[in-house]
Amino acid sequence: MEVKDYIIQESDKLFCQYGFKSVTMDDIAKHLGMSKKTIYQHFKDKDELVNILIKDKLTTQDCNMDFSAKNAQDAVEEIFFAIGNMHELLTGMNPKLFYDLQKYHPKAWLYFKNFREKKLGKVISENLERGIKEGFYRKEINIDILTQMRLAQVDIIFNQHDHYTTNKYTIAQVMIELTEHFLHGICNQKGTEQINQYQQKSTQAQQPL
């Protein structure tokens, strides 16, 4: 692994644990066991490091969503792929992360907003269309309204996490709970049976051999 990628990877661990504001370049250097001078050879400042880190994360998410859409057997399984991805991405993440990002790193926040509006909204809308076409989602649902509602759920969790978590639940737990609730709301009986099948498979896969 190149030094630049290593710095990004290890900085990400610190940011996820403590938030962007609390972690200084000194903290990163100490964590990495290298001088700040070495870090500054690769990044102009902490803001540039955060910008590149967020851009890389969003690129990875973009690839994950494309993979889920192409490899899922149906729209319901695509949502289950997303749930697994959320668990991996959000578990252990400090809820302050998104507040810090919005307040202290506006360019990186803009990357996130553009991703939300251009990519995430499109993926949600296409999944709803797919589910209706495959006969798993209710035909009468309004795709535009539900797409905006789903995006609003994401905004609420990231921007008003205290209202939901109250220090009892992680962002991952809340987001997964809302996603499963959303899925049950859009599915017809055939879709609900499909949910049960995937949940059963997931439970069996988690059981020790």
Q: Is 14 a member of any domain?
A: no
| pTM of this structure | 0.86
Contact 39, 32 (CB under 8 A): yes
Q: Is 41 a member of any domain?
A: no
The pLDDT of residue 170 is 79
Token pair for 26? 């000194």
Q: Is 155 a member of any domain?
A: yes
| CATH number of the domain enclosing 67 | 1.10.357.10
One-letter amino acid at 107 equals K
The pLDDT of residue 209 is 47
Contact 165, 174 (CB under 8 A): yes
What is the Cα–Cα distance from 107 to 89, expressed in whole angstroms? 21
Q: Show the CA angle centred on residue 65, arms to residues 60 and 70, nearest 5°.
A: 125
Express each pLDDT in 21-67 by its tens digit.
Answer: 999 999 999 999 999 999 999 999 999 999 999 999 999 999 999 99
Q: What are phi and psi of 163, to 5 degrees?
A: -65, -35
Average pLDDT over every residue of 163-169: 63
Q: Is 31 a member of any domain?
A: no
Q: Is 190 a member of any domain?
A: yes
pLDDT band at 136 (very low <50, low <70, confident <90, very high): very high
Instruction: Check residue 166 and give left, alpha or beta (phi > 0: left; psi -120 to 50: alpha).
Output: left
Q: How many structural domains comprise the chain?
A: 1
Q: Is 35 a member of any domain?
A: no
pLDDT band at 161 (very low <50, low <70, confident <90, very high): low
Express each pLDDT in 68-106 by its tens digit.
Answer: 999 999 999 999 999 888 878 777 777 788 888 889 999
Contact 170, 92 (CB under 8 A): yes
Spell 132-160 as b/e; 16+ CB within 10 A means b: beeebbeeeeebeebbeebbebbeebbee
Range of the domain at 113: 53-206
Q: Is 46 a member of any domain?
A: no
The pLDDT of residue 97 is 84
Contact 182, 147 (CB under 8 A): no
The pLDDT of residue 54 is 94
Q: Is 131 a member of any domain?
A: yes
Place of tokens 């994401």: 154
Average pLDDT over every residue of 131-140: 97
